A and B are shown apart, each in its own frame.
Chain A
Amino acid sequence: MNVIIDNFPLYVSGFLQTLRICAFAALGSLVLGTVIAGFRVSPVPPLRWVGTAWVTVFRNCPLTVVLFFCAFGLPEIGVNGAYFWFGVTGLILYTSAFVCEAVRSGINSVPAGQAEAARAVGLTFSQSLTSVVLPQALRTVVPPLGSVIIAMIKNSAIVGAFGVGGDLFAVGDTLTSSRGEAVLPVLIGVVLGYLVITIPGGLLLGLLERKVAIAR
């Protein structure tokens, strides 16, 4: 296990890189996924079509393919930038489809009368969504969203492989491939790094779930 202690700074930098990828991707996919969910329940048919197409494409494409498109396809059509942002964008696009469906299931769990009452007092569709429906959907959405975000954190390991580098998984790869360290202890260190993010994340979600519970 000395390899972990000896390379601790490298592990820490990998951990921080993974955390950066996940923080941007979580924020981006939560916002984007919620907007797309709004599209999918909108009274405007073209918006619903866009939402459905979005989910169909990104939920059914392997993440690696989406990442390939972002990292190597985007530069071909003249979009230039750091691989970090291509990777994060790919992860956001992919995860937003799952966030959208989780949020939409939450929206459907809110009794129809709530939205009717909101419309009846004169709120527009987006106002009734943001001030009446979504706050109540949150309660049912937290557990499935937690699973989506945890899956996203694990998927960040794939992002690292698309020219981004420097994340936890890449650290493991560097130590085993380039420096010839034994695989098992190195990977145990990598796993610990992920657990440090996902386990407290899960606990935080449990806390949030209790906080947003609403009596009916």
Chain B
Amino acid sequence: MTEPNPARPMVRMAAVDKFFGPLHVLKKITLEVPRGQVVVVLGPSGSGKSTLCRAINRLEPIDSGLIEVDGRPLPAEGKELARLRAEVGMVFQSFNLFAHKTILENVTLAPIRVRKLPVAEARKTGLELLERVGIANQADKYPAQLSGGQQQRAAIARALAMRPKVMLFDEPTSALDPEMVQEVLDVMSALAADGMTMLVVTHEMGFARKAAHRVIFMSDGEVVEDSTPQEFFTAPKSGRAKDFLGKILTH
């Protein structure tokens, strides 16, 4: 174990390239997610922001470049990679809760199987986490019995159960009915306020404005802007960002 170094970024990407066949989805991406900060990634559909997020825990392998999490380069497929993923929480657009397990079992599976926690202890922390995201009363239900918002909060609790160093959110509210978006954003804002390091791919401009330390704007596989929310929303530098903001902020 290396000592945590506050100066070292939690996530660092340098000159990352990724292709889907002939399609160049990530073009020489270089960015940093500093410890304890919330970085929000914005951009039009197909700009590569989800791929960027999924590349950080190697759900999408990259073609060239460097990705480091807490100072260590991403290992190749195998046990080392599993260990790294255990320390990187991930929340998906479509929740992906384990359909055959109860909500509490979803939250305790990895702590028991990966961290080898005793079942009783894992259940106790699991219930505390479910309490924290406001669905402790749903612990014994199956995912299909919950609303989308509840499922996504359970998915956040599942990721938190591994005590991750950083949380990745891949469009966590895009599959939700409008009235359920807020409850998920509230949980995320609370996490951010607690000092969790987060990278959030989203279309929620309100969240970006309020919770983000930095906003990264992507378009066509490139990082076009990397600035503070204040700067990005009031004085975007690039034409593509102005165009994007013009389309979403007019209504």
List residues of chain A with CB under 8 Å of any chain B CB.
43, 111, 113-114, 116-124, 127, 131-132, 135-136, 214-216
B233 close to A (CB within 8 Å): no
> Nearest residue in B to A136 (C-beta to C-beta)?
B100
Contact A121 B114 (CB under 8 A): yes
Which residues of the partner chain B approach A43 to less than 8 Å between Cβ atoms?
77
18 more contacts with CB within 8 A, not counting A113-B96, A114-B98, A121-B162, are A111-B96, A113-B92, A114-B99, A117-B97, A119-B59, A120-B59, A120-B88, A121-B109, A122-B83, A122-B110, A123-B82, A123-B110, A127-B113, A132-B98, A135-B100, A215-B145, A216-B99, A216-B144
Residue in B94, B99, B145, B159 whose beta carbon sits within 8 Å of that of A121 in the complex: B159
Contact B59 A124 (CB under 8 A): no
B86 close to A (CB within 8 Å): yes
Contact A131 B82 (CB under 8 A): no
> Nearest residue in A to B88 (C-beta to C-beta)?
A120
- If A121-B86, A121-B158, A122-B110 touch, whether A214 touches B92 (CB-CB below 8 Å) is no
> Nearest residue in B to A138 (C-beta to C-beta)?
B100
Q: How many angstroms between the C-alpha atoms of A207 and B113 in the bound complex?
A: 30
Which residues of the partner chain A approach B98 to less than 8 Å between Cβ atoms?
114, 117-118, 132, 136
Q: How many residues of B contact A (CB 8 A)?
A: 30
Contact B85 A120 (CB under 8 A): yes
> Nearest residue in A to B159 (C-beta to C-beta)?
A121
> Nearest residue in A to B86 (C-beta to C-beta)?
A122
Q: How far is the CB of B109 from chain A (nearest CB, A)?
A: 6
Q: How far is the CB of B57 from chain A (nearest CB, A)?
A: 6
Contacts A/B (CB < 8 Å), 17 sampled: A113-B92, A113-B96, A114-B98, A116-B96, A117-B97, A119-B59, A120-B92, A120-B159, A121-B159, A122-B83, A122-B87, A122-B114, A123-B110, A132-B109, A136-B98, A214-B142, A215-B145
Which residues of the partner chain B approach A127 to less than 8 Å between Cβ atoms?
113-114
Which residues of the partner chain A approach B145 to less than 8 Å between Cβ atoms?
215
Which residues of the partner chain B approach A122 to less than 8 Å between Cβ atoms?
82-83, 85-87, 110, 114, 162
Q: Which 3 A-B pairs have the closest CB atoms?
A: A122-B86, A117-B96, A121-B110
Please report the number of residue pairs spanning A and B whose Cβ atoms sit closer than 8 angstroms. Answer: 73
Which residues of the partner chain B approach A124 to less than 8 Å between Cβ atoms?
79, 82
Q: How many angstroms between the C-alpha atoms of A116 and B86 in the bound complex?
A: 13
Q: How many angstroms between the C-alpha atoms of A116 and B93 in the bound complex?
A: 12
Mark each residue of chain B from 4 to 26: 1 if its CB lies under 8 Å from any CB of chain A, else 0: 00000000000000000000000
> Which of B97, B98, B155 has the largest count of A CB atoms less than 10 A from its CB?
B98
Which residues of the partner chain A approach B162 to less than 8 Å between Cβ atoms?
121-122
Q: How far is the CB of B174 from chain A (nearest CB, A)?
A: 14
B129 close to A (CB within 8 Å): no
Contact A131 B142 (CB under 8 A): no
Residue in A113, A120, A121, A214 whose beta carbon sits within 8 Å of that of B100 in the complex: A214
Contact A123 B94 (CB under 8 A): no
Chain B residues 182-231 with CB under 8 Å of chain A are none
Contact A123 B90 (CB under 8 A): no
Chain B residues 63-97 with CB under 8 Å of chain A are 77, 79, 82-83, 85-90, 92, 94, 96-97
Q: How far is the CB of A120 from chain B (nearest CB, A)?
A: 4
> Nearest residue in B to A115 (C-beta to C-beta)?
B96
> Nearest residue in B to A116 (C-beta to C-beta)?
B59
Chain B residues 124-178 with CB under 8 Å of chain A are 142, 144-145, 155, 158-159, 162
Q: How many angstroms between the C-alpha atoms of A111 and B98 in the bound complex?
A: 10
Q: How many angstroms between the C-alpha atoms of A73 and B110 in the bound complex?
A: 47
